[in-house]
Amino acid sequence: MILSREEYRERIKNHRRDLGLSEDVEVPEEWAVRITDLRLAKVLVPEETRRFLLPALRSLQKPITAERVVEWKHQIIGNKGEDELDRCWEEFGAQLRQRWRAFTVSFAAAALFLFMDLDMPGVRDEKPFRLAEQISELAEIIKRLMRDLDDRTQELEKLVANRSAGRQSRRESDAYHALCYWRYGHNPEAIARWLGITPYSSKTGTGTRDWKTKLNRILVQGKEVENKRYPRAAAIFANYKDSSHIRRKAHRAYRAHLVMINRFPGHPPIWEVGRKIRVNHQKRRGLEVIQAYVQLGSCLARGRPTSP
């Protein structure tokens, strides 16, 4: 998927030596600005994006051209001077500054290419403030598209299950997400309500008396889904008791996760967690491993088991 995968590294670079694959076909090179850079929208925060892009965009020469955007990207990412831009980035701290600079500017460059390809009126001479605003708006649009795509994927999963109206079963993804929420320490009653189960209330006499049993049954189903669909994550949970290395890595991942939540409430970027435990977040299997370590770290920190 363009919005979630690194196309060049996964689909092209690893197969460039396959002469049969590329025979009579011009295989693309790795470019300074790629459409897949738009996937970085998921780690950007709107207000910070606008604020930090504004001083950067002031150095972009007008009228905007593809060549000038590439030159601008290299200039900003490689800039080490203590100018206005660096003072803005300093607020994130020295450790995160260069990575956020690269992510934000890479997304902005891809956005500018997209605007030019779509012949956006006046974009080549647009003022920095307006450009920063438009780039931030594009990031939010892409985030919504990614969420909508996830929703439609679940609908497709339900369709291809081909169950009759009277025999609908709970989606596997719901059971797995419930397990993840449970490991993160969410309130069991809140998880039950999210699943459509009303916990029993002695004050009102309403609700389901055996809601805990039903919830545990769903959590067990979630573990079965993990074993089947996410073998790398399952292996981490299966071996952590016998491996101090896995436990240390889990604690490190969870601490990094908490730091990101505090810095970016509602949109904690996962790339910093991946960097802390040296796992590539840009690949699906990397995301699976990172999330497993964070969940394990949460369970260890709370002193609770990883499954009911």
Residues 41 and 110: beta-carbon distance below 8 Å? no
Taking the CB of residue 136, how many other CB atoms lie within 10 A of it? 24
For residue 206, list its beta bridge partners. 201
Dist CA 56 CA 87 (whole Å): 11
pLDDT one-digit tens code per residue, 201-256 = 888 888 888 899 999 999 999 999 999 999 999 999 999 999 999 999 999 999 88
Q: What mean pLDDT do residues 163-182 have? A: 73
Q: What mean pLDDT do residues 172-191 have? A: 90
Instruction: pLDDT band for 10, please (50, 70, 90 cuts).
Output: very low
pLDDT one-digit tens code per residue, 254-297 = 988 888 777 665 566 677 788 889 888 777 888 899 999 999 99
pLDDT recorded at residue 243: 92
And the tokens for 230?
């996410």
For every residue of 179-219, DSSP letters joined together read: HHHHHTT--HHHHHHHTT--B-BTTTTBSBTTHHHHHHHHH
Residues 306 and 254: beta-carbon distance below 8 Å? no
Dist CA 15 CA 135 (whole Å): 33
Nearest to 64 by CA among 85, 97, 19, 33: 33
pLDDT one-digit tens code per residue, 74-126 = 888 765 444 544 554 454 444 445 566 778 888 999 999 999 999 999 999 99
Nearest to 246 by CA among 285, 295, 283, 284: 295
